[in-house]
Amino acid sequence: MNGSRKLSSQEIAATLRDRIRGGDLRPGERLPTQAELAEEFGVERGTVRQALRALQDDGLLSNVSKGSPPRVAEVGHSAGHEPQPTMVGLGPRLSEAFSAPHVRVDAACLTAETLMLALGEPVRRIHEGTIRPESIDVRILLPSRKINLAFPVPVEGRGEDDEEDPVHKRWLDQRNAQVRVLRHNLQALRTSHKLDVRVTFRALPFTPPVKLYLLNGQEALIAYYMLMKREEQMADGPLEMYDAFGTQSLLFSFEKGTGPRDAAFVDQSQQWFNALWETITTDLTLS
């Protein structure tokens, strides 16, 4: 962008803001480097840095630091860490994580539904060739089939034997189907793209009150399950139950590079998961 007058940082910020809001720069996408932006706008790097910091203050950019291209913030992923529905926030964050050469995803949740659906985007990008990690290691903690779940449960109470509880059976069938699909989609990358893929499931001895996702040790995403009373049509007729809608839970993101509190939360969450993973030695069974 050439002209007789050099642009101010406010004008550069306004141009980039228009690109973000107009969709030319999408959520999760990295901007050009400061050097590239300085060349494009015909200004010094210091002017570019001022513009980027202004956009970060507006909540439109994250990870603004010298030497590292910033990233367009996800909807709701601003300086105030506004939450967003899990299905909106998790997919883009996974795609970003899968852009790394060595991918590590750790998760603890009630079912694998949200993760199974959100992984569709990075798997698609691997198939189309836009990203190609060297290795993928996914570790997932899900409730054991043998425990009395805190939710979902029938409104009228459960039977003495969980195996006869239609709500428990429905949850178990869904859990098992989601595990099979998730595992198949990831392990298929071994054959199709010769990637080093490991997918491991272990059985939690309790019902997790939250869902937690840890991405490459750099980001922690957490959502609190919110219970709702609803009616489900079962084989024997309608059944009222208390259930949690995980895909609609609000997801909070904490990322290293956005502040010491976020970094501490990521580290503590990773330490908690690692300790729990080492304590639990029972693999998840689908039979």
Selected residue with higher pLDDT from 103 and 76: 103
Helix (H, G, I), strand (E, B) or coil at 74: coil
CA pair distance 199, 112, nearest whole angstrom: 13
pLDDT at 57 over 80: no
- Above 90 in pLDDT, residue 134? yes
Q: Where are the alpha helices (DSSP H) in 58-164?
A: 86-97, 113-118, 120-128
Give 256-287 pLDDT, tens digit per residue: 877 788 889 999 999 999 999 999 999 999 87
Contacts for 32 with CB less than 8 Å, ≥ 6 apart: 40, 69
| Residue range 157-194, pLDDT digits in tens | 755 544 578 899 989 999 999 999 999 999 999 999 99
Of the candidates 105, 85, 80, the one whose C-alpha atom is nearest the C-alpha of residue 258 is 80
- Mean pLDDT, the chain, as a whole number? 86
Contacts of 16 (CB under 8 A, 6+ apart): 25, 31, 51, 52, 55
Residue 181 dihedral angles phi and psi, to the nearest 5°: -65, -45
Whether the pLDDT of residue 88 is over 90: the answer is no
pLDDT at 162: 45
pLDDT exceeds cutoff 60 at 21:
yes
